[in-house]
Amino acid sequence: MDQEFFDDKFHDECGIFGIFNKNDYNTAKLTYFGLYALQHRGQESAGIAVNDNGTIIYHKEMGTVSEVFDEVILSHLQGKISIGHVRYSTAGESLRENAQPLVIKYTKGNMAIAHNGNLVNADEIRDDLEKKGFIFQTTTDSEVIAALLSRERIKHHSLEDALVKVMKQIRGAYSLLVMTPHKLIAARDPLGMRPLCLGKKGDSYIFSSETAALDTIGAEFIRDINPGEIVVVNEKDIRSIQTEVTGESRMCIFEYIYFARPDSIIEGASVYKARLEAGKRLAREFPVDADLVIGVPDSGLVAALGYSRESGIPYGDGLMKNRYIGRTFIQPSQEMREQSVRLKLNTFKEQIEGKKIIMIDDSIVRGTTSKRIVNMLREAGAKEIHMRISSPPVTYPCYFGIDTPHRQHLIASHSTVEEIRKIIGADTLQFLTIDSLKKTPVGARCGFCTACFDGNYPVKVGKEGKNEFRL
């Protein structure tokens, strides 16, 4: 497979899900279904850890949720508290040892951790801890957090008190679930860069990266976890600890553009409506005479519908996505490399032939995918191809939990819009502006991180290269 094609999108981050079960629900199965609903956030590995009367048992493996778990495995995961994780590696190698949840034993007992995000000072902390005798089994940021927690827990009355201390030491983006023999603890970084919400089903409390997972298991959405907040659930009650927060929150705006499911609500804003609004704004700012509006599946479809509604140009299906491509598949021969895009997408020739097409996509990263899709549309007989992107040009890498190429591989970092248009072969090309993008999550109760577009990182980061996550 042409790896450049499959790397020509921002890769999903991770998804976390946890439940403190005070009812007679099947804890492991609820977590399984919750993770299934979050599968889009990571297809590399999946895991579930369950607290069985103080003993934490777990299962995790490389693969998707349905590949990792079956009825037999789930039947052995008995307990009242559970956390689950789906992963795409943004820091740490793609190894089974790095799959989560991470389960550790330490002086005060045992705990399990599931984490979404990246710490920009993880290497610095890891080096310091190793010099003091700590031994690490994985290469993940999550184990760095666990090591800090185990060290601080010795000095404090409770794990949540230790977490308050740890949150003052770590810098970056994180949504975190920590399970102990008697508690389920959730935390969100002070800038609220990664999403995390609280729900309830009966008397049971649930944490999830997205509201769509709550809907899947029939849970009621309560609220988003606040930036810098720690929420502790035990058998008796639920309580909140608000740590120090400085400045406006900085939710990753790519959640609305690409990562989150369109049926999720994040910080009070509908992802579906945000994408619809992006398409409408593209139509107002960059109109063009055409016969048909199409979207690149899947995240470009809603924006394409918005463009159609605003412009009055009919919306239709132009591209068909193969939904059954997994992480591994037979490598095509060298002569097939140029046609590898067709393994994932194909055209509806009868819809395209002889027409002026407006094609909407969520972003352009390397440009290889866009070029090949434009070529496919030409081969299908498109008369004109006008490409509209529902985000600004991506010119900087992300250090906070999204796997982006190094800057030199981002086509917009060294090419103008007109140069990109010529490279991909479109008749016209336009991107949504940053100002317009910020207005698309209508009703959002947060600020946004737009660093991948403007280089305005909300947390200080190091230089690109081997030590890009070191301060």
> What contacts 24+ positions apart, CB below 8 Å, involve 464-470?
464/397, 464/406, 464/407, 467/123, 468/397, 468/399, 469/91, 469/118, 469/119, 469/120, 469/121, 469/122, 469/123, 469/399, 470/121, 470/123, 470/124
DSSP codes, 401-442: S-B---GGG-GGGTS-HHHHHHHHT-SEEEE--HHHHHTSST
55/58 Cα distance (integer angstroms): 10
Could you give the 3-state DSSP secondary structure of residue 118? strand
239, two tokens: 């309580």
The Cα diameter of the chain in Å comes to 72
Contact 59, 73 (CB under 8 A): yes
What count of other Cβ atoms lies within 10 Å of the Cβ of residue 395?
17
Query: Can the peptide bond before residue 393 be classed as cis, meaning omega within 30 degrees of 0?
Result: no
Catalytic residue among 14, 197, 398, 446: 14
- If one counts every other C-beta atom within 10 angstroms of the C-beta of residue 154, the result is 10
Which residues, listed in sequence order, are joined to residue 241 by a DSSP beta bridge? 230
| Separation of alpha carbons 56 and 77, rounded Å | 9
Which of 208, 186, 207, 211 lies closest to 266, judged by CA?
A: 211
Sign of CA dihedral 288, 394, 171, 461: negative
Query: CA 113, CA 119: separation in Å to the nearest integer?
Result: 15
In order, the DSSP letters of 28-65 are HHHHHHHHHHTGGG--SEEEEEEEETTEEEEEEEES-H
Q: 252 catalytic, yes or no?
A: no
* Strands 45-52, 220-224: pairing kind: unpaired
Tokens for 414, please give them: 């060294």
Residues annotated as catalytic are: 14
